[in-house]
Amino acid sequence: MKGSQTGRADFTQVVTSPPKDGQVARTKTSSGTFEFQRPGRFKFVYKKPFEQTIVADGQALWLYDTDLNQVTQRAQSQALGSTPAALLASAPDLSALKADFTLEAAPDQDGLQWVLARPKTKDGQLQSVRVGFAGEQLAALDILDSFGQRSAIRFTGMQANAALPPATFQFKPPQGADVVRQ
């Protein structure tokens, strides 16, 4: 996670909501592709179960919901803060991460080496993030939010230092899409 790196991978995300009112925990699985260029740019393209694109271009965070034909645009600095996305793409190096997160080694598990990151600000929506590495390659994120919801993201086929054209991180709202600026 040093300097201005690029990468590309496929991902699978399993979100587990805590049980409510005696019901069992619910899970939702989604998958797609992930690309990044540090510092400050990334793109998640969700393909299943619903199409959605999230692009951080260094200035703005764009969220495009294909089914709704709606784009939400927010200032990237306000949208990311102490989020897992900030861990992935916004922090240019370890010292920058340490400004927003307390980092500590976590026990090895599932063949991965883990780092536990806790946001220094306690008023956010994030309790903790475990970042899993296979050697020096990002392999997994386990995110626990303040509502007890857990998101497990697994990256496969990671290509470090992938050649990504500049247009990868540019987003232009599709013709006819509703654009909401926040």
CB-side neighbour CA atoms (13 Å) of 160: 12
| pLDDT band with cut points at 50, 70 and 90 for residue 1 | very low
The more confident residue out of 102 and 78 is 102
Concatenated DSSP letters for 60-120? Answer: EEEEEETTTTEEEEEEHHHHHSSSHHIIIII--SHHHHHHHEEEEEEEEETTEEEEEEEES
According to the model, what pLDDT value does residue 11 have?
94
- Record the pTM: 0.82
User: Domains in the chain, ordered, with CATH?
Assistant: 6-162 (2.50.20.10)
Most confident of the following: 10-14, 57-61, 83-87, 122-126: 10-14
| pLDDT band with cut points at 50, 70 and 90 for residue 12 | very high
Does the structure show a pLDDT above 70 at 108?
Answer: yes
Q: Which residues does 105 contact at the CB level (< 8 Å), separation at least 6?
A: 114, 115, 116
Q: Average pLDDT of 13-42?
A: 88
Does the structure show a pLDDT above 90 at 152?
Answer: yes
